[in-house]
Structure formats: structure tokens, C-alpha cells
Chain A
Amino acid sequence: MDKNTKLIQKTALPDALAALLPDYRVFAPAGENERLAFTRIDAQNAFALCLSGTPLMPPKELLFPRSETLYGTDIKTGDVSLPQTAGPTAVFGVRPCDAHGIANLDCAFLEKGYVDSAYAARREALTLIVLACAQIPYETCFCDSMGGGPAGSEGADVLLTETEDGSALVAAFLTGKGRAVKALWAAAGLLSDTGADATTKSANPAKAPPPCNLRISKDKGLAAKIAAAFDDPMWARFSEACLGCGTCSFVCPTCYCFDLDSENRGGTAEEFRCWDCCMFSDYSRMAGGHNPRPTKKERLRNRYLHKLAYFDERYGRTLCVGCGRCIGKCPAGLDIAAVIEWGGTL
């Protein structure tokens, strides 16, 4: 019997969240329809949990907030103040694509000798309790074409997979952070043995995940092929219908560009950073007014090449995780999966 694989009843999940509350700030998907969001859970609303869908806004903002003050300076005294760190945080119900996305963000914010201290502090304090997809949440999902899958464990501290009859979840505690969760759940009497025999792999009660709705073929040489197509006329075609909004970037679990600015608030000069988007005209505008990406064609090409080529060149992994949100929400019907398929044919 694998001591780090246990069973937890679905009916026990509110108690499981409550068991984390003394030690963590807890977030979980809650809310109806378009209000479904990773929501701060307290003892009162632990029962509002939603297991069926996944929020449009990915959990990346727990690590990389939409806006954050980096430091403030008192205008009169010159005293500098730093924001408080939030402390241990557990997020429940993250889907495998988003956990994979966080693993990708880790590369950008923590690797190659550049450590973003604000991100690093939050990442160190974050425990990811991942819920494998028993139902595929969006018709645009294609994670299993992008090296992940509906039961993928990349980035997960705990991986929860539904049992065959759907009444319980098989909980795999994969890391030290995950085992800290296990200790709390075990102490609350919420875990039981799976009945599976690890040596023979018999009677493992976890249900195999369904395939994604959208299946594409991603070429092994995609990064090199698509980067070499920088001047291809298809970029103009792909971008024709683009409205140049920031929807794709802001719903993306792996877009991490930000802007830095400062503002006076009351008597304090605040240096802040906030999400930025490479589809906006001011993103690449230089101080003198020149814009090396003057139209949506150059901006869209940059966005896709960053996802599919440049990140791969630097970190050896494709940045896009196939969550499908940008495809589902693009008001102009742009489709990164179609670009990936095209890139493979080059």
C-alpha cells in the first residue's frame, strides 16, 4: 500500500478545506457561472465549492497579482515601506493545465539566475491541490496535445482523481508540501486507504481521465519550425480578425508580462507593477515614440512565437499548456491550436 495515496470522500471536501484554515489562506473555485473564481474560503463559505467547472481566471494571480505595490516611499520623510507577505496559501481545485502553467511561470520568475523575490516568496508559500478533470471543462481544452493531460501531475503538491463511481477522490500526496496537507487531513480523520495494492497495481479505484475535446498534433520540431517562419505571410492572415484586445493574455495561465509604474497615493509614492499585454500598442512603444511592433500582425506573431518558440528556446518547454481559454474567449475567433497545427506543417 502506498502510504502517500489515500481516499477522501467528496462529501468530506468542505471539512478538508476547513482543516486547512488554521494553517493556510485557502482558495478554491466558488461562484455561479461567470462568477466562478478562485475565492478565499473561510469557515462560512467552505460549502460553496464548485467541482464541475474551472474558473475563467487562472490561479496565476495568487503568485502574480493583477496589480501589486512593490514599495512605497513617504513623500515627507522619505521612509520606504515594503508590503507584507501573505503567508502560507493553499489553493484547492487547480486543474492540471493551470498547475503545469505555474511550473512554466516558475521558469520565468525563478530560473536562469533571475529570481523575482516577490514571486519567489509567494511561490514558496503556495501549496497546489490539483483536481484531475473528471469532465473536460471547456470544448476548447487541448492540454493532452501539449504535453500535459487531464490527470497531469506537473506542479501538483496533491493530485486528486475521481474514483470510478464518482463518490470519492484518490489523493496522491506528491511533495513535502503535499504531505503537510496529508497530515492535516489525516488528523481530521478524512482519509481512508484506497484498497489498491501498489505492488500489483490491482483495483486502483482512480478513474482514467477522459480525453480533451480538441485534439491536435503538435510537431516535435515546432519551436524551430515556427521561429523560422517569422516572415511568413500567414501571420497577416492569422491576425486579420484580431481586435487587439488583451483577453487572450489576461485569461492565459502562462502570460507573465508586466509593467512597472509609480503613482502618488495620499502622501506615499507607490512603485507598482501590473499585468501588461503584448497585444497593446503601448507595450512595445519606445521612449522616443518608435514602435517596433507597429500593427497587430507583429504583436500577434510575437505573442504566438513567445508561447511556442522563444520560451522553448530558453527553458526547453512550450509555454502554452493547452487550457483553451484564449480560444474560447477570443471575440474574433483566433485559435492558437490552429497556429500550432500550421507550425507543424512548415
Chain B
Amino acid sequence: MTNGQKQQLIRDRAAALLADGAVSCIVGWRQTRFAGKTAVCFVRAPEDATLLVWNEYTIPLTAKYLADERWTGGKAGILARGCDSKAINRLLRDNQLEREKLYIVGLPCEGKADERCRPCRQKTPLVYDELLWEEDSAADGGGTSAADADAPGRGRFFRADEVSALGIDARYDYWEDVYARCIRCYACRNACPVCSCRECYVDMHRAGFQSKRQNAADNRVFGVTRAFHVGDRCIECGECERVCPMGLPILGQTQKVIQTAEALAGAPYEAGLNAEDENFLGKFDLDDKDAFM
């Protein structure tokens, strides 16, 4: 099936869902006036469903918008790929969403024009009310083949691997350079589907956790806090990096947390595969060894 055919299916289905009142709104993508750039949009009338697009540039996550307080009133229809579904699972797990207030239209993804989509292992949504088409396993683009996963810089933790390959002094310089260039616009935080605190600690600046000064030292406080705060819930969608206006390679931070957790646990770990699993930094067990205490 071509992207054009998929787009038509999306438009037809969105119009039907809106027309019969199943949902009050469809969260999807529209074309901006610039080629190669789409944006999330909210379609409320059946006749506006023609705004919806599906192509290699429909990259932004739709799921983040569900955590907005606006949805407490009605049932939202959401176009969801694998990454969006992992985000939805995380938001459900964190009690940020109610499943019955969502109608999830699942869209198996063929991979998008973004290097962060390349290692994606979850092209078909994990949670949905209906799937509009089946995943085309022969589709070229996106996903990591077995051979690809072992190639340097091509695997699941490709960005973290870039940094790990450096010597320890070079790693320090790498992050100093990142934090010197950060402008603390918080786009990474705001685009992140698992950043769901009602009030972020950085907005409580009277509490003294985070200075509002923009400099490498205070930027580093934010970066490290963010890495640990969301690292174990990170669904590896890459939105933090995509939205960074400065082009900073920050996906490597959460990748490193996940990579380290897998190494310590000796078991695979991936957030958002379902809406029940505990996040590893947020759980405890009375039988945990507490040799450090």
C-alpha cells in the first residue's frame, strides 16, 4: 500500500469517526507550508479530515497532547504509530490518561525520514482500538535489520554508543560542549511524552532546585536531572532530539540509562510495552538486596 493510499484511509476513517460522534476530535498531522515539515493538528469536523496527511515526514508524536488537561471532557481519537502507542502505555501507567477516553486508530509505521526512527522495533502499535492496515514487513525504511543492529552507530543505542566510544576526557568535553550550547528552552522536556509532571521542578525556581541562569553549569543540572528523571521511562522515540533547536545529541543520555539498566539487570528492558510494568528506577522490592545500607 502506498503512503497516498494510507493517507486516504486515514482521512476516510477520521471523517467517519467524527461524523458518527464516536470521537470529538482526531489528533493527527497536517502539512505545513514548508515541504518536509508536518505538524500535529486537531480535526473536529468531518469535512476537515482532508487536512490529515501521512508521509515520511509525519514524525511528531501525537500522544504527548493527550496528557493535556483539555481531554478531561470528551473522547479523543488519536492516530498512533508504535512510538505513540508506547507513549500512551506510559501515560496510562502513570495515571495521566484514562483508556476509556481514548479511541486509538493504529497506524503501522514504515519508518520516517529521521535517523532516530531507524532502530525502531515497534512499528505496529501495541495498543489500539482498530488498525487501519497491516504492517508491511517488506517496507524499506525504518527498523533495524539483524545485520544493521550490530553495525557501529546503527543499533538501538546508536547515540549512546557514539559517546561511549570516546575516551573519558573526550566524553567530558563532549557533554561540556552540549551544555555550553544548550539554551534551556525546554523543548526536549515539553515534547517528551513521559515528561508529565503537572509542575516541573524547573518552573519552581523559588525552591532553588534549578537556577534560571543560562550557563553551562546550570544547563548541566537540568540535563542530568532530566536524564535520570525520564531515563527509565524513555520510550526511545527521539522527540527530545528532533525538537532541540540547537541540534544537541541528547537522545544519547536516556539511551545510556536504558543501556546501563539492561547491563546491570542482565535482562532486556524497554519502557511502554504495556501499561502495567514498573519503571526500574521507580520500583522497589522488600527482597531487594540492601548491602549498601
Contacts and interface: CB of A to CB of B under 8 A. Distances in A.
Interface string B208-219: 000111110000
A66 to B, nearest CB: 4
B203 A281 contact: yes
A140 interface: yes
Given A33-B247, A67-B214, A261-B212, A245 B187 contact: yes
Interface in A199-257: 214, 240-241, 243-247, 249-251
Interface stretch (A83-91, A108-116, A163-171, A325-333): A325-333
Nearest to B215: A67
State the majority secondary structure of interface residues on A: loop
A339 to B, nearest CB: 13
A251 B33 contact: no
Contacts, number: 92
Contact of B184 (A214, A246, A261, A281): A246
Nearest to A258: B212
Interface in A305-346: 327, 329, 331-335, 338
Interface string B27-56: 000101110011111100000000000000
Interface string A47-76: 000000000110000000011000000000
Contacts of A246: 183-187
A24 interface: no
A276 B213 CA distance: 10
A282 interface: yes
Interface string B183-196: 11111011100000
Given A241-B41, A332-B60, A274 B212 contact: yes
A137 B64 CA distance: 32
A275 B214 contact: yes
Given A34-B246, A34-B247, A139-B34, A331 B212 contact: no
Contact of B40 (A33, A332, A335): A332
B32 A259 contact: no
B242 interface: yes
Contacts of B39: 241, 332-334
Interface string B260-289: 000000000000000000000000000000
A272 interface: yes
A240 B42 contact: yes
Contacts of B205: 261, 282
A247 B187 contact: yes
B213 A67 contact: yes
Contacts of B190: 243-245
A241 B186 contact: no
A331 B242 contact: yes
Interface residues of B, number: 36
Contact of A243 (B41, B64, B181, B215): B64
A258 to B, nearest CB: 10
Contacts of A33: 247
A239 to B, nearest CB: 11
A79 interface: no
Contact of A331 (B30, B42, B191, B204): B191
Nearest to B25: A240
A244 B185 CA distance: 9
B212 A250 contact: no
A112 B205 CA distance: 32
Contact of B213 (A56, A244, A274, A327): A274
Given A67-B213, A272-B213, A282-B203, A240 B185 contact: no
Contacts of A35: 181
A247 B32 CA distance: 18
B208 to A, nearest CB: 9
Contacts of B243: 243, 245, 247, 331
A57 B38 CA distance: 24
Nearest to A332: B39
Interface string A31-49: 0011100000000000000
Contacts of A243: 64, 187, 190-191, 243
B55 to A, nearest CB: 14
A251 B184 CA distance: 11
Nearest to B198: A281
Contact of B183 (A250, A281, A333): A250
B281 to A, nearest CB: 25
20 contacts: A56-B246, A243-B243, A244-B190, A245-B186, A245-B243, A246-B184, A246-B187, A250-B245, A261-B205, A261-B211, A261-B212, A263-B211, A277-B185, A280-B203, A281-B199, A282-B205, A327-B34, A331-B60, A332-B39, A333-B30
Given A246-B183, A329-B245, 13 more contacts: A34-B247, A67-B213, A240-B41, A240-B42, A241-B65, A245-B187, A245-B243, A250-B185, A263-B213, A277-B185, A282-B204, A331-B243, A335-B33
Interface of B: 30, 32-34, 37-42, 60, 64-65, 181, 183-187, 189-191, 199, 203-205, 211-215, 242-243, 245-247
